Each structure stands twice: as structure tokens, then as C-alpha cells.
Amino acid sequence: MLYNKESITTRNNLYNKLMKKFLLFLVGMTCAVALPAQETAVSSSGTVAGVSPLIQTADAEVLQALQKVTCSADKLPSLDEKLSVQDCVRIALANNPQVIEARLGVESAAVSLSSAKNALLPKANASVSGGAYSTKSDNTPRYNSDSVNSAVKVNLEISALTDIGRNIRTQQLQLQRAILSLQEKENKVIASIKSDYYSLLAAQRAVAIRTQSRDLYQEQYERTKAFYDQGLRPKVDVTTAEVDLNNAILSLIRAKNLVKTLTAALANEMGVTRAGEFILDDSIEIEPLNLTFEQALTKAYENRPDVRSSKTALQISQIKLRQAKADYWPTFSMGAAFVKDGSNFHFDSDQLALSASIEIPLFNGFQTRNAVKQAQLNNLSALNSDRSLTNTVFLEVQNAFIKLNEAAESIPVAESNVEKSKENMELAQGRYNEGIGDIISLKDAQVAYTDAELSLLTAWYDYGVAMAELKKAIGTY
């Protein structure tokens, strides 16, 4: 078939127009997507209270993931107010350094995912160059000249497309792992906050019990001394009563110091500093246990972030193994470029280019074989870690379940002991006042009553701590 010059020119013009429109569309994509994503990588400050606005414009998938971990912007309670356990949890999730570090890890993984996707976007560049020249040769006058060259270039080059796809998928999984790591940190912090909160509350109540005991021994010492002055009791009773009073004072001092120590521990877990004591809400809600051990274990395997993260790590190792094996196969690359340039800012010339290539690996010094072996070993290591975590989860759920049942069974027994020991102490006090009983029996009854009160207090808060540990083991709050 013969083509005349006019038809060839028309066809070339149409081809050039289509290519220009296509590449101008790529320029628009670059300005709308690539540039904000690049600014994100540089400008994101990793704010604690929310997600960087630049990250939000980079990718819908990234935005959806980050919205799940955005810290609540609600006003946090004041440390000078009465704090419930939920108030302490809210403060900790906003200020605990480990949680903040995990949240920044999510933002970092989101930026990495955006960067991986940017490998599919075109690149646009603009350049301007200029110069002044003075030339002289034999038998010719000196010649002075200057020039200004300008150009705009849009380039799209995709090398190893399958590798880009695997890298994007890997970064997606890494983002999932970062989110799961944040959830795991939050679960651990919540469990630690509840444990420290109940321990501090128990210590504060123990101070009240020790104060009551001190007052009781003070009263007993004064009564015994009065009996001695009247000749009704021997000197040894006064000495014994004084020793008991001093021991009660020492126990009270230790209890108050324990409150200070546990206050510092709770403040540290919350990510704040506190010189004075916290005012805690002393009402504790005891949640009933509505799960069997088998149900709790099933929930743990389904919900725990570290278990899900382990499965994700296994997926990543499998992708990397396939990627290492892919180096045995040919690599395909393609590219397109459009250049518009000219002198003195007159863009009077353009150039279009399309390219495709294939690279066939022949021998690279056994690097691919070694990379495949290393990837296989990493995959086996991930499998082993996953099995080990499964055993660890079973052990943690079992221990938490046993502790919770033990605390639940101890509460009614401890309550009964408090009633009986109080009755026994009152009887011993009456016998001593009537001159029938001795001070040793009274002391034993008083110690038994104090110990029973402390045992009941411990049983109540052990249940709260055990419930927090079980929830952490299950992975739900």
C-alpha cells in the first residue's frame, strides 16, 4: 500500500496529539498525587494527637488505616480531679511513650506504603540553562554570543513491574503489622494501668486499715497502762502493748511509703509526672467471668494483635521468598518520555519516546541461589516463631484464667474471715477488759482481724488485676 506525503503527515500529527494528551495527563497525576506524597515524607512531624494532614492526602488506603489509630482529641481529665481507671487509661493512651512510639511507627509505615506506590507514577522535571561565550580564531574577529535553553520533561519508567507489585503488597502488610503493634502496645498499657491502679487503690485502703489498727493499739496501750497504774495488770502487759503499738506505727509508715512508690509507678505508666498522691475512685466494678477456658483460648487466637501480626509476618516472608525466586526469570521494563524544549523560553521543539526491554539473567555468581536459601530460612524462622507464639498464648490465657478463678473463689472466703475475726476480736477485748483474758490472746485476735481485712482487700483487687490480665491475654478490651 502506498502512502502519500500528506497522509503520513496527518497520521503523525494525530499520533503526536494523542501522545501529548496522554503525557499531559501523567503530568496532572504527578502534581495531584506524587508531590503531596513526597511532601508527606519530608514534612510529617509525627503528631501525637492526630494524623499529619499531608499523609491524609496521599492515599485513601493509608488514610483509612491511620484513622483507626488516631488518638482521641477529647479533653483529658485533670490529674487533680478524682480519677477512675478509665480516666487513667485515656491519659496513658495519649501520653505513654511506648504508645506514642508505636503510633509514629504506623505513620512511618504509611509513608513507606505511599513511597512504594509512587514507583508507578511519572516524574516531571523542568530545567533552565544559560551561558555567555566569546570565541576568536585566527584571521577572524572575536565573536560574542549567549544562549538560554529551557526544557520540561515528563518521564515514566517502570522496571520489574512484578517486583513493584510485591513491594507494594509487602508495605501494605508492614502497615498492618504496625497497626497491630500499636494495638498490642495499647493492650499492654491498659493492663498495666489497671494493675497499677488497683494496686495503688489497695495500698491506699491498706493505709486506712493500718491507721485503724494503729489507733486500736494506741487505745489498747492507754487502757493497759491505766490498768497497770491501778495495779490491775502487770508491767509486762504495758510493755507488750507498747511494742504492739510501735509495730503498728512501723506498718503504717511502710504502707504510706508503698502508696508513694505505687503512685510513681502509675504516673510513669500514664506518661506523666506527679509529686503528690492521686485521688482515685474507690468503687471497683467486678465483671463476671462469662467464658470457659476453651472460649477464652479461641478468642485469644482470633483477636490478639501479636498473633495476627505473626501471621502477617509469615505472609511477608512468603512474598519475599517468591520475590527471591523471581530473580531466576527475565525482567521486563517499559518507559515513556515527553520533552518540550527550546531557546530563550520558546518551547518550539518536542520529542516523544517509548521504550521496552527484557533482561535475561544468565549468571550472577550464585547470588540468586543464596538469596533464595536465605529467604527459605527466614520463612522457616517465621513459621517457628508463629508456633512458639501459639504456645505462649496458651500459657498466658491458662495462667490468667487460673488466677481469675482463684480470686473469685477467695472473695467469699475472705469476707467470712473478716466477719469471724471481727467477732473474735470483740470477744477477746471484752474478756481482757473484764480481767478474764490475757493480752496475748487479745493481740492475736487484733492481728487476725487486721490480716483478714487486708486479705479481703487483696482478694478484691486481685480479681480486678486478673481480669485485666485475662483481657490482655485474650486481646480484647
* Secondary structure of 412-430 in HEC code, one letter for each residue: HHHHHHHHHHHHHHHHHHH
Domain count, the chain: 1
In a domain, 462, yes or no: yes
| pLDDT at site 60 | 57
Residues 6+ apart with CB under 8 A from 293: 397, 398, 401
- Rounded Cα distance, 455 and 461, in Å: 10
**Rounded-to-integer distance, Cα 34 and Cα 40, Å:** 10
Rounded CA-CA distance 221/66 in Å is 65
Nearest-CA neighbor of 132 among 123, 143, 116? Answer: 143
Asked, for residue 312, whether it belongs to a domain, the answer is yes
What's the pLDDT score for residue 13?
60
Rounded to a whole number of angstroms, the distance between the first and last alpha carbons of the chain is: 77
- The DSSP H or E segment spanning 458 is helix 439-474
Q: Is residue 134 part of a domain?
A: no
Residue 187 burial class via C-beta count within 10 angstroms: exposed 0-12, middle 13-18, buried 19 and up: buried
User: What is the CA angle 156-162-167, rounded to 5?
Assistant: 90
**Distance separating alpha carbons of residues 34 and 6, to the nearest angstrom:** 41
What distance in Å separates the CA atoms of residue 337 and residue 157, rounded to the nearest whole number?
A: 8
The answer to whether position 132 is within a domain reads no
Contacts of 70 (CB under 8 A, 6+ apart): 50, 51
Q: Residues of the chain whose pLDDT is less than 70?
A: 1-74, 133, 145-147, 156-162, 284-286, 345, 477
Q: Which domain holds residue 206?
A: 5-123+146-474
| pLDDT of res. 257 | 94
Q: Tell me the three state secondary structure of residue 112.
A: helix
Contact 339, 151 (CB under 8 A): yes
DSSP character string of 301-370: HHH-HHHHHHHHHHHHHHHHHHHHHGGGS-EEEEEEEEEEEEETT---EEEEEEEEEEE----STTHHHH
In a domain, 135, yes or no: no
pLDDT at 49: 34
Q: What is the pLDDT of residue 220?
A: 82
Q: Which amino acid is at 168?
A: I
Question: Taking Cα atoms as reference points, which of 170, 185, 223 lies closest to residue 103?
Answer: 185
pLDDT score, position 51: 37
Coil, helix or strand at residue 59: coil
134: three-class secondary structure by DSSP: strand
Do the domain assignments include residue 136?
no
Tell me, what CATH number does 295's domain have? Answer: 1.20.1600.10
Say how far residue 32 (Cα) sits from the centre of its chain: 32
- Whether residue 79 is contained in a domain is answered as yes
Quick check: is 183 in a domain? yes
The span from the CA of 104 to the CA of 71, in Å, is: 12
Rounded CA-CA distance 208/198 in Å is 15
